[in-house]
Amino acid sequence: MKHIIIGTAGHIDHGKTQLIKALTGRETDTLAEEKKRGISINLGFTYFDLPSGKRAGIIDVPGHEKFIKNMLAGAMGIDIVALVVAADEGIMPQTKEHLEILQLLGVKKGIIVITKKDLVDDEWLTMIENDVKEATKDTFLKNAPIIPVSSKNKEGLDNLINFLDKIVDETKEKDKYGHFRLPIDRIFSVSGFGTVVTGTVLSGTIKINDELMIYPSGIKTKVRGIQIHGETAEKAEAAQRCAINLMNVKKEDIQRGDIVSIPNVMEPSYIMDSKLMYLKSVKTALKNRQRVRFYSGSSEIIGRIVLLEKEELKPGESAFVQIKLEKMAALQMGDKFIIRNYSPMYTIGGGTIIDPKAEKAKRFNKTYIDNLKTKGEGSVEEIIGHIIEELSPNFPSKDEITKKIGRNIENIEEVLIELENKARIYKLEQSGKSNYIHVRYFRGLEDDINKILKDYHRKYPLEEGISKEEFKTKIFSKSLKSKLYNEVLQLLVNNEMLEVKGNYISKIGFEITFNEKQIRIKNELLSKIKEGKFSPPKFKAITEGKEDDLEYKKVFELLIKTGELIKISQDIIFSKENYELAKDKIINFIKEHGQITLSHAKEELNTSRQYSMAFLEHLDEVKVTKRDENIRKLI
C-alpha cells in the first residue's frame, strides 16, 4: 500500500488545526495548554481516508515562531504540504518562513488552502489569491492549486479533498525498501509496556521483534510492539507515522532528535560536510564560524558554519561548508537540514549532507573542495551500486563488478557489505560463490513479473500457475544455474512479488477463475451439495446423464482445491458452510458431554449412519477427535 504524509504549514491562527478537524473530525491539539491558548504548540498527528480509499497521514505543525523547531520536526517527514493562508490576513511572516523551509527541505508537491473564506467578500478573496500567487511564483508551489475553504461551514472542503486525492496519487512514495530510519519526535512510558517512541518513518520497513539501534548513543533494542494511528500493527513502512514500543530501554536514555534505525548503518559525528544554500531573504552575510541552530530530522543542535571556499556567504549564494556541532548527530549522505540564526532566531538557510562523518578540513583547500564536488556527484558506494544495477540481469560477482568499474577499489568487500547492510543490494550465495543484484533492478522486475503472471492466469485460468522452468526463460537467462535461480525465487517470495507452490509460480493471492459455463456448473454443484446439508448427494449422482461430465469433474476438483467443498471420504463431500457447522456440532456435544458415540453423532447431525461414520472418521484423521473403542473425545 502507498503511504503518504500530508503536512500543514502557515502562520499562527490561520486555521490549520481547524481545517484538519473539518477534514477528519479529529482534534490534533491534545495538550491542555494548546486548548487553553487556542494555538498549536507541539506537533499534531492524525490520518485522513480519501475518497479513493487511500489513507494519508497528517501532520499539523505549529504556526507560532516560538515553536518553529516543532514545525521543523514535522516538516522533515512531509511528502505533500498544505500551505494555509487565512483569507482575512493573507501572507504573514511565518507563511514566508515556512515556505522557505519547505523549499530548502526539497518538498516537491503541495496545495494552497485559503481558509476562513466566510469572513471576506469575493473581491477581497481575489486579492488574497493574487497575493499568494505572487508570493509562491518562484517556489515549488508556483503551479499549485489555490482552494478557498471555510472550516466553519464546510464550503470548499469537497473540492480540497478531491485535489488532495489526486495529488496523493501523483506523489512518489518514500523508499520502503531501504533500511529503516525514524527520527524520534516524542518519547513516553506506558505502564506495563515500557518506553514508546514516535516519529515518521523516513525509509524502510520495521516488524515486531526486529533488532534496532538508537543513534547516536548506540543503544541496542528490539521492537516489542507497533502502533499506526492508534491501531496495533505488525509492521510500519516508509512515510507512516508510527509508535514503537522498545524493549529494555529506559525513557531517560533517549531524547527527541535521536534516530531509530537498524544496527551499524550510521556513524554519529560532530563534523559533517555539506552544500549550503543561504536564503536570499536574509539581510546580512553569513560569517565564517558563525554560530547557528542546526535542524535535521527532529533534532536541534547548536553548531558553527565553517566556510570552506569563501570569506563570507552573501544572501542568495550557495557554498561548500563544514558544520561543526556541539553534540553528535547521526545523519546520512543526502539528508536535508535547516539552519537558523542563533539569536534572534530566524531561518537563514539549509542544504544537503555530503559527508555525514567528515574530518576537520582546512579552508580554501582546493583538493578538499574538489573531492567534495566529486562526493556530491557520486560516492564510491553510489558508483559501485550503479555498476551492480547495470550488471544485475547477469547477477555479477565481485570480480565482474571490479572489472566493469575499470579500476581497483581496495575496500570493495567493505563497500559491498555496507551496500548490503543498507539494503541497497542483495547478496546471493550458491556453491560458495557470491553474486549480487541491485534492489532497484530487483524491484524493477515487478512489472514484468506481474504482466507475465497476469497474462498466464488469464490464458490458463484453471491452472495453478506457470512452471518454474518456463518462468525462468521469460524473466531470466536460460543459463541461470538452478541453485542460484531457486535463491532468486526465494528472494522474490520474501519480497512478496509472487508465490511458489511446488513446481508452479503464481501471483500472490491468485485464485482460479471460471468461465460462464464453469460458473453455472460451480453454482449447481455448490447448491446441490449445500442443500443436502449433512447428507449431500454424491458427485456421481449429480453428474449422472450429463454430457459434459468431464467439465463437471474439473470444476468439482477445483472446488475441493479451493476449499469451497470439503472431502470427507472418497465419495462424500460437504459444502464448507455445512462442514464447519457439523464440526461445531460435534465439538460442542463433546465439550458438553465429554464424549460422543456414532449414535449420538447420527442424531446430532440428523443424517444416516454412513454419513455420520464418515464424518467422525474424518475428524479423527484431521486430529480434531480421537477414537477410543466406540467413543470419541477431543484431542
SS (H, E, C) 593-622: HCCEEHHHHHHHHCCCHHHHHHHHHHHHHC
Indicate whether 75 and 187 sit together in one domain: no
Q: Which of 461, 480, 511 is where one domain is finished? A: 511
Helix axes 380-391, 412-421, angle to 10 degrees: 80
DSSP E strands in 123-268: the ranges are 146-148, 181-183, 186-190, 194-200, 205-207, 211-215, 219-228, 231-233, 235-237, 241-246, 259-261
Q: Is residue 360 part of a domain?
A: yes
Distance CA 568, CA 263 (A): 52
Q: Are 611 and 578 in contact (CB under 8 A)?
A: no
Summarize pLDDT for 113-157 with one digit per residue, the tens.
999 999 999 999 999 999 999 999 999 999 999 999 998 899 999
Domain enclosing residue 617, as ranges: 516-634
Q: Could you report the per-residue pLDDT of 473-483, keeping only the tens digit for each? A: 999 887 788 88
CATH of the domain at 537: 1.10.10.10
From 240, 261, 282, the end of a domain falls on 261
Local confidence band at 397 (pLDDT 50, 70, 90 cut-offs): confident
CATH number of the CATH domain containing 59: 3.40.50.300
Contact 83, 112 (CB under 8 A): yes
- Of 381, 149, 355, the closest CA to residue 271 belongs to 355
Indicate the pairing of strand 109-115 with strand 80-86: parallel
List pLDDT tens digits, range 344-385: 988 999 998 887 888 899 999 998 888 787 667 777 788 788
105 and 127 part of one domain: yes
Residue 227 in any domain: the answer is yes
The answer to whether the bond into 216 is cis (omega within 30° of 0) is yes
Do 565 and 575 meet the contact criterion of CB atoms below 8 Å apart? Answer: yes
Report the range of poorest mean pLDDT among 171-175, 189-193, 341-345, 424-428.
Answer: 171-175
Looking at the fold, whether 600 and 588 belong to one and the same domain comes out as yes
Q: Rounded CA gap, 399 and 140, in Å?
A: 44
Task: Read off the pLDDT band of 41 (50, 70, 90).
Answer: very low
In the chain the first and final C-alpha atoms are separated, in Å, by: 41
Helix (H) or strand (E) holding 112: strand 109-115
118 by DSSP, 3-state: which? Answer: helix
Output the pLDDT for position 329: 93
Query: Is 609 in the same domain as 506?
Result: no
Q: Provide the pLDDT confidence category of residue 36 given band limits of 50, 70 and 90.
A: very low
Asked whether residue 593 is assigned to any structural domain, the reply reads yes
Domain contains 176: no
Distance CA(565)–CA(464), nearest Å, equals: 18
- Give yes or no: residues 133 and 150 share one domain: yes
The reported pLDDT for the residue numbered 227 is: 92
Q: 369 and 386: one domain? A: no
One domain for residues 546 and 607: yes
How confident is the model over 61-77, as a mean pLDDT? Answer: 60
| CATH code: domain of residue 190 | 2.40.30.10
The cell for 187 is 518519547
- Predicted pLDDT at 68: 61
pLDDT of residue 407: 44
Please check whether residue 219 lies inside any domain of the structure. yes
If asked whether residues 465 and 591 sit together in one domain, one would say: no
**Is residue 564 located within the same domain as residue 591?**
yes
Least confident of 18-22, 149-153, 488-492: 18-22
* pLDDT at residue 1, rounded to an integer: 64
Percent above pLDDT 70 for the chain:
91
Are 388 and 507 contained in the same domain?
Answer: yes
- Segment 201-218 shows an average pLDDT of 92
Identify whether 77 is part of a domain.
yes
3-class secondary-structure state, position 127: helix
Residue 134 lies in a domain: yes
pLDDT at 448: 93
What's the number of domains the chain is made of? 5
On whether residue 175 sits in a domain, the answer given is no
Residue 177 is predicted with a pLDDT of 67
Residue 537 DSSP symbol? P
Same domain for 489 and 569, yes or no, is no
Predicted confidence (pLDDT) per residue in 244-289, tens digit: 999 999 999 999 889 999 887 788 899 999 999 999 999 999 999 9
Of 238, 261, 284, the residue that ends a domain is 261
pLDDT recorded at residue 403: 58
**525 and 494 belong to one structural domain:** no
pLDDT band per the 50, 70, 90 thresholds, residue 43: low
- The radius of gyration computed from the CA coordinates of the chain, to the nearest angstrom, equals 32
Closest to 58 measured CA to CA, from 111, 98, 6: 6
pLDDT tier at 224, thresholds 50, 70, 90: very high
